[in-house]
């Protein structure tokens, strides 16, 4: 099975900072990659699909890139409401594996 590895596991940044974190697949998955945001005590929310397509209603400060095995999620200017754990997920085949998550906090 393909494994999904996210880094870092957590980060702390200031409001307004540009934040980037990564997701690596153990084998190529083309662009079958999604990013989810889960705020504390809340249900996961789809942010990006097809590696770089922003889900409707998601702020434009979020962007995704990558293809094959290496992917990134960028927040161009971190906001207090972005405090959450972010998960990547492959969906080219089963199992639809998630990464272990990156927890984002405000410094």
Determine the Cα–Cα distance for residues 49 and 8; give it in Å rounded to an integer: 21
CB atoms < 10 A from the CB of 37, how many? 22
Q: Is residue 97 near another protein by the rule CB under 8 A?
A: yes
Q: Which of 55, 71, 54 shows the shortest CA–CA distance to 63? A: 54
Q: CB burial class (10 A; 0-12, 13-18, 19+) of residue 100? A: middle
Listed ranges 11-19, 60-68, 69-77, 94-102: which one lies at the site for another protein (CB under 8 A):
94-102
Question: Could you give the string, one character per residue 11-40, with x where binding to another protein holds by CB under 8 A and - elsewhere?
Answer: ---------------------x-x-x-x--
Determine the Cα–Cα distance for residues 9 and 34; give it in Å rounded to an integer: 17
Cβ at position 82, least distance to another protein in Å = 18
- Of the two residues 25 and 34, which places its CB atom closer to another protein in the complex? 34
Cβ at position 69, least distance to another protein in Å = 18
Cβ at position 93, least distance to another protein in Å = 7
Cβ at position 100, least distance to another protein in Å = 5
């Amino acid at each position: 099975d393909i494994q999904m590895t996210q880094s870092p596991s957590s980060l702390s940044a200031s409001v307004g900072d540009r934040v980037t974190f990564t997701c690596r697949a153990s084998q190529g998955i083309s662009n079958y990659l999604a990013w989810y945001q889960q705020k504390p005590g809340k249900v996961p929310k789809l942010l990006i699909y097809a590696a770089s397509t922003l889900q409707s209603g998601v702020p434009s400060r979020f962007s995704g890139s990558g293809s094959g095995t290496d992917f990134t999620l960028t927040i161009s200017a971190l906001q207090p409401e972005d405090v959450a754990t972010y998960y990547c997920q492959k969906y080219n085949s089963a199992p639809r594996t998630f990464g272990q998550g990156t927890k984002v906090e405000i410094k």
